[in-house]
Structure 1
Amino acid sequence: MELFAAGDESQMETIRRWIDQSDVYMLILGGRYGSVDQTTSLSYTELEFDFAASQGIPSFSVVATEDAIDAKVKELGREAIDSEYGKELKLFREKVLSRISSFFDDPKDIKLAVHETLADFSTRKKFIGWVRGDEVKDQEPLLDEITQLSKRNATLTTKVAQLEKKLQAIKYSDKGGWTDEDFKEIFSLLLPGPARTLGNLGWRDK
């Protein structure tokens, strides 16, 4: 319950909004029924489970085995299970097990169930993702900018390679130093645009 922030939105409205924004609903059901909504006399967990089903959200549940619950009781005492809403929990558990679900004895079983189920869902269902694809604005300007930057990067990469090749050629030449033509060629690679100048050498290329 600590997850709900103070505000005008009710807890159930918050739950519905979260589920509506989700691609998958997953339930981990142990030995407690959960906080109960006084209006419906159902736990918020059961209400969200029902809402996800009504919205057609792909759902799966991981349910603690009786052995796992007994082990928890031995570890933590009777407070590990819900004695007040035992009947409601039993009925809810039966409802959950009537849909896609698996059992767990150990937390590692939960990880395995999540991995296997999501992998299966991803091959059969079209997920939009946390940032919903149908909410993304026009991407054309961004794609155009990325294309232009990619072209610019390719051009600069080519120029760097040409410059390195030229510098290596000058280094190992037998001319004894750089000529005006060497400088002119190097500056033609370094300086963009139609006009390139090298004032101290007294030449201009238009």
Structure 2
Amino acid sequence: MQKRYQVFVSSTYDDLREERKAVMQGLLELDCFPAAMELFSAADSDQWTLIKKVIDDSDYYVVVVGGRYGSLGPDGMSYTEMEYRYALEQRKPIIGFVHADPGQIPSAKTEQSAEGRDKLQLFKELVLKKLCRRWSSPADLQSGVIVGVLHLMRNNPAVGWVKATPSGEVNAEELIKYRRRIDELEALLLASAPPPFPIEDLSQGDELCELRYNFQSARVGQGASSHDSTVMLTWNTIFAVVGPDLLNGTTESVLKASIGSRIKQEVEADLKSQRNFRDVSLFNFTVHQEDFYTVVYQFRSLGLIVIATEGVIRRWKLTPQGDQLLAYIKAVRRKVK
């Protein structure tokens, strides 16, 4: 049965309302349960006990750091840092998100005291020691959360949550058998249907596709700059990237984030060899929206993916043909002697 995961989201609140909303939306698109601590009052020691229990019950932990250190606990440490250190102690899979350009944060959303700024800097240094990404807007924070949590899910499988059914209502083995049979019949039905139009003249396979993309760069202590460029990838390369996300169905945000990560992998080394980008952090690689939809509808036209809408969020999944192509692309080839 499909699992869902609980993700604890830790950050200051008043200065990061829009960012927290974006994070929650990203987690919901991953079918995760966000654990939002604005539901609790951190001033009560009993509530701190409850917060620790929620962290204990969570599968993954996300911390977002902006321009404030946050309200302080009895020992002079912010509750955000207390939560982070507790998650570390419990060995929770953690990913952090630190603002890429603190100088661009409005003054009203920053620490006003020298002591607060010093504590915030030390906390940032602690967060940066673990898996961490930079963010500069709610949109790229959401994208980063989707990619980051997917990374945690793939590399740190957790217990998760499965919807319970009344005892004895359906035998689990029988349920699995029926589900497999339904899948087999659906696959046969799709495979027997002729394509609505010829696909031989459509670009596909190892033919190249040009993608426009945007990325940001920043030197330490300086603001982030935005850049546009293009990259050439084969259709099979792109499909190999998004295919695993599509096995159980996924959202467009997840697909777009996966393509952005592949673009970064493809071009980062070459960019860093250029004079303008030496000793510079490169981040937030995002495929152009129009080109993203070109990719999606190309794969749909080739009969590799179909829409599987759930609620108000559009989701996509592999067709049997798409599953076969993904298996072929991912299969290990025999070495020629």
1:119 and 1:145 map into 2 onto residues whose CA distance is 28
Quickly say closer, same or farther: Cα 1:140–1:95, change in 2 above 3 A.
same
1:96 and 1:23 map into 2 onto residues whose CA distance is 19
Gap runs ≥5 in structure 2: 1-36, 179-337
Shift of 1:59: 0.5
Contact map agreement 2:95 2:149 (CA 8 A) in 1 = no
Shift of 1:9: 5.9
Shift of 1:92: 0.5
Relative to the length of structure 2, the TM-score reads: 0.37
Q: Does 1:13 align with 2:49?
A: yes
1:145 and 1:64 map into 2 onto residues whose CA distance is 47
- Tell me the C-alpha RMSD between the 2 structures: 3.2
Q: Does 1:63 align with 2:98?
A: yes
Shift of 1:147: 4.6
Q: Which amino acid aligns with 1:100?
A: L
Q: Which amino acid aligns with 1:11?
A: Q
Deviation readout 1:85-113 (Å, 9 max, x if unpaired): 11111111111111110111121221121
- 1:110 counterpart residue number: 141
Q: Does 1:31 align with 2:67?
A: yes
Q: Does 1:80 align with 2:74?
A: no
Q: Does 1:41 align with 2:50?
A: no
Alignment of 1:113-124 (within 5 A): 113-124=144-155
1:98 and 1:26 map into 2 onto residues whose CA distance is 14
Deviation readout 1:136-168 (Å, 9 max, x if unpaired): 69x7613339959x99xxxxxxxxxxxxxxxxx
- 1:173 counterpart residue number: none
1:109 and 1:132 map into 2 onto residues whose CA distance is 30
Relative to the length of structure 1, the TM-score reads: 0.58
- 2:16 counterpart residue number: none
1:100 and 1:110 map into 2 onto residues whose CA distance is 15
Q: Which amino acid aligns with 2:149?
A: L
Query: What is the aligned length?
Result: 139
Q: Does 1:143 align with 2:170?
A: yes
Q: Does 1:91 align with 2:99?
A: no
Alignment of 1:113-192 (within 5 A): 113-129=144-160, 131=161, 141-144=168-171, 147=174
Higher strand proportion:
2
1:2 and 1:114 map into 2 onto residues whose CA distance is 19
2:41 and 2:111 map into 1 onto residues whose CA distance is 26
Quickly say closer, same or farther: Cα 1:5–1:107, change in 2 above 3 A.
closer
Q: Which amino acid aligns with 1:37?
A: G
Higher helix proportion:
1
Shift of 1:5: 5.6
1:9 and 1:142 map into 2 onto residues whose CA distance is 43
Contact map agreement 2:52 2:86 (CA 8 A) in 1 = yes
Deviation readout 1:107-147 (Å, 9 max, x if unpaired): 12211211111221222222222x479xx69x761333995
Shift of 1:11: 2.9
Instruction: Please tell me whether Structure 1 or Structure 2 has the larger radius of gyration of its CA atoms.
Output: 1
- Helix, strand or coil at the partner of 1:143: coil
Quickly say closer, same or farther: Cα 1:132–1:72, change in 2 above 3 A.
same
Shift of 1:3: 2.1
